[in-house]
Amino acid sequence: MLKLDLSNEPKWLDLGHGVRVLLGPLTTAMMVTARNDPAIATLPEDATDEESALAFAKALARNTLFEWEGVGDAEGNVIPVSPEAIDALLDIWPFFEAFQTDYVAKGLVLEQEKNASPPLPNGSSAGAETTARAASPARPARKPAPTARKS
């Protein structure tokens, strides 16, 4: 069962290291606005997945981040939220990763309720056990595979 949160109230998200951000809900309108951001439109065609993900996260944050705590300048003075400051915050890996994992990914994936029957191990592949184990975490491909030659 899908549980709809009908509240459109912004919520605080802890990004770690003493930084919290107040974010609006990740709605369809927010996603469309971020996808139409000029920074996304001007990405080169050969932009890597990582470059695209960072540009999209920044565009999304610029449209949904209202307030923050724990962010200051080089002298330790609190700085106001601005597009440039949001971009600078997300250029720091731990904050980008927390934003992606705890805000963007959770908004894109609908979690299935735990009270339903699980998939069968011999049926749907979703319930099957993994037979191959990776020695190290998988790394994404740097470039897409070339198109197969036509015979």
- Residue 75 domain-assigned? yes
Domain assignment present for 25: yes
Tell me the residue range of the domain where 101 lies.
11-108
Domain assignment present for residue 43? The answer is yes
Q: Which residues of 108-132 are buried (b: 16+ CB within 10 A; e: fewer)?
A: eeeeeeeeeeeeeeeeeeeeeeeee
- Domain membership flag for residue 149: no
Within-domain flag for 5: no
140 occurs within a structural domain: no
Determine, yes or no, domain membership for 128: no
> Could you give the CA distance from residue 45 to residue 121 in angstroms, rounded to a whole number?
41
Is residue 31 situated within a structural domain?
Answer: yes
d(CA 70, CA 72) in angstroms, rounded, equals 7
Question: What total of structural domains would you count in the chain?
Answer: 1
Per-residue pLDDT of the chain (151 residues; tens, 9 = 90+): 667 767 789 999 999 999 999 999 998 899 999 999 999 989 999 999 999 999 999 999 999 999 999 999 999 999 999 999 999 999 999 999 999 999 998 777 754 344 444 555 555 555 555 544 444 445 555 666 666 677 6
